[in-house]
Amino acid sequence: MGLEISIPPYQATKEEFLATKLNYLVDLLRRKGVNWSRKNSLWPMPFATACCGIELMATGASRYDIARFGAEVMRFSPRQCDLMIVAGRVAIKMMPVLQRIYLQMAEPKWVISMGACASTGGVFDTYAVVQGIDQFMPVDVYVPGCPPRPETLLEGVMAIQRIVEAEGVQGPSRQRGLGLVVEPTVQVHVETESANERE
Amino acid sequence: MSKRSRRTSVNNIAHPAVEALGAQFAGLDFAPAPLNPQTTGQDVQLCVRVPADRLLDVLRFLYEDERCRFEQLCDLTCVDYLNFPKARDRYGVIYSLLSLSKEHRLWVRCFVNDPDPKVPSVVGIWKGAEWLEREVWDMFGVRFDGHPDLRRILTWEGFKAHPLRKDYPLRGRGEREAFERITTESA
Ligand code: SF4
C-alpha cells in the first residue's frame, strides 16, 4: 500500500488566464509589433532641394510606388515625419534650415542621404555647397547615384526598414549612421582676410 | 581694319541718346564703343563709360531727357577685370538700359577700384535696382552710396568675403567647413 500524494493541478481562473495571454501579447507587441508597424509605415519628410527630388517624386508615383513599402505619406511638417530624405545639394545657407527641421522631427527618426550631392557634395565642390550633410548631422543610409534610380532609393528605404527592425524599442537611440563620415577630399587652405576683404 | 576706323564708324552711327549725352555733358569723354566689336551698322549696341562722380547725373539725364527716356533698367551687374588683358581698372559696374517708348538700348559702364569701390545708388531713379545692387554688393563688394538697405542677398549672414571676385578661391576660405554640427547626442 503506497502513500499517494496527489496535488491537484492548478486551475487558473478565467481572469488570470486572460491576463497571462494579454501580457504575452503585449510583450510580443512591444518586442516585434512596434517596430513592425514603424518600419511599414515610415512617413518621409521630403527635403528635396535639387534634381534628386525629381527622382524622389518618381519613386512616389505609381510606376515605382513607394506605397508598397508603406512610405507613401510624404508630410511637409517635420512633426509628422520619422524619415527624412535629403534629396539634392544643400547650400550652406540651407544647412540651418535642414538642421532645424531635423531637430523638429519626433523621435525615433531616421535620415536618408540621397544622391552624390547630399552625401559628398558631388560635383559642386564650391564655397557655397555643403560637402556631405553627414559632416553636420547624423545620417543612417546613403543612397549612391546621380541621381539614384528609384530602385536604388527603394533599396535605401528597405535598408531603413532593416535598421528599424534591428533597433530595440526602448533604450538609447541607435541613430548614428554607419560610421561612414566622409572627410573633405581637398585640403582647404584657410587664409586670413586680405586687406581688401571688408565686411 | 584698324581700331581707329572702327571707332569712327561707330561715331557715325546716330544714337539719339549718345548725341544728347554729348551735348549735355560736353566735358565728359563717353568713349562710345560697341559691346561686341564684330557688330557693325545698325545692329551695333553701344556702351558708354562714365566716371563714378558724374554717374548719377548722367543716369538721371538718361532717364528724364526727352531724347533718351530710358524707363527701364534691365540689368545691373559687375565685372571683375583682375588680370584682364589691358584692363586699367578693376571693377566695371554695368547698367543695361532700355527705352520702350523710344525703342533703343544703351549700356553704361562705370569703373571703380580698390580699396573702396563705391558708386552712387540708382534706387532713386529705378526702384528695381535695389536687389540688383544688393547682389553686386554681395558678390563683388562694390558699395552703393545711398542704398536704403545694403545687405547681402545671396550668401548667408556672417559671410565675410565677396565670392565673385577673381581672387576668391573656388572652394572658399573654410566657410563651408566652419559650421555647427548636430549629433545624435546633441539632438
Ligand atoms: S546627386 Fe546628381 S541628381 Fe542628385 S542633386 Fe546632385 S547633381 Fe542632382
The beta-carbon neighbor of A196 closest among B115, B180, B183 is B115
Average pLDDT over residues A176-197: 46
Say whether pLDDT at A10 is over 80: no
What is the model's pLDDT at position B186?
63
Q: Report the alpha-carbon distance of residue A113 to residue A199 in Å, rounded.
A: 35
More confident residue, A18 or B176: B176
pLDDT digits (tens, 9 = 90+) for A120-134: 888 998 888 988 888
Distance from the Cα of A116 to chain B's closest Cα (Å) equals 17
Percent of chain A with pLDDT over 90: 31
Mean pLDDT lowest among A14-28, A30-44, A92-106: A14-28
- Cα B91 to its chain centre, rounded Å, is 9
By the CB < 8 Å criterion, does B172 face chain A? yes
What is the model's pLDDT at position B122?
93
What is the model's pLDDT at position A168?
55
Q: Is A122 helix (H, G, I), strand (E, B) or coil?
A: coil
List domains and CATH numbers for chain B. 8-145 (3.30.460.80)
Say whether pLDDT at A51 is over 80: yes
Q: How confident is the model at residue A138 (pLDDT cuts 50, 70, 90)?
A: confident
Average pLDDT per 10 consecutive residues for chain B, totaling 187 residues: 43 75 85 81 82 91 90 93 89 93 90 90 92 94 91 86 90 77 66
Binary contact (B171, A186; C-beta < 8 A):
yes
Secondary structure of B96-154 in the HEC alphabet?
EEEECCCCEEEEEEEEECCCCCEEECCCCCCCCHHHHHHHHHHHHCCEEECCCCCCCCC
For ligand 1, atom 8, which residue shows the shortest CA distance?
A: A51
Q: How confident is the model at residue A181 (pLDDT cuts 50, 70, 90)?
A: very low
Phi and psi torsions of A62, nearest 5°: -70, -30
* Ligand 1 centroid – CA A133 distance (Å): 14
User: Helices A150-166 & A52-60, crossing angle to 10 degrees?
Assistant: 70
Q: Report the alpha-carbon distance of residue B140 to residue B76 in Å, rounded.
A: 12
- Cα B71 to its chain centre, rounded Å, is 17
Binary contact (A138, B187; C-beta < 8 A):
yes
User: Ligand 1 — pocket residues by CB below 6 A?
Assistant: A 50-52, 88-89, 115-117, 122, 146-147
Mention every residue, 6+ apart, whose C-beta is less than 8 A from residue A24.
Answer: none
Q: Buried b / exposed e across A105-137, counting CB within 10 Å, b at 16+? A: beebbbbbbbbbbbbbbbebbbbbbbbbbbbbb
Q: How confident is the model at residue A198 (pLDDT cuts 50, 70, 90)?
A: very low
What is the model's pLDDT at position B21?
87
**Nearest-atom index, ligand 1, CA of A52:** 4
Average pLDDT over residues A78-82: 90
Arithmetic mean of pLDDT over chain A:
79
Average pLDDT over residues A51-71: 92
Q: Report the alpha-carbon distance of residue A13 to residue A3 in Å, rounded.
A: 30
Say whether pLDDT at A194 is over 80: no
Helix, strand and coil content of chain B, in percent to the nearest 5, comes to: 25, 20, 55
pLDDT digits (tens, 9 = 90+) for A147-173: 999 999 999 999 888 888 876 544 444
Chain A residues 92-151 with CB within 8 Å of chain B:
92-93, 95-96, 99, 102-103, 125-131, 135-138
What is the model's pLDDT at position B185?
62
Q: Buried b / exposed e across A58-94, counting CB within 10 Å, b at 16+? A: bbbeeebebeebbbbebeeebeebbbbbbbbbbbbeb
Say whether pLDDT at A111 is over 50: yes
The amino acid that residue A143 corresponds to is: V
Peptide bond into A8 cis (omega under 30): no
More confident residue, A160 or A183: A160
* Ligand 1 centroid – CA A156 distance (Å): 16
For ligand 1, atom 6, which residue shows the shortest CA distance?
A: A117
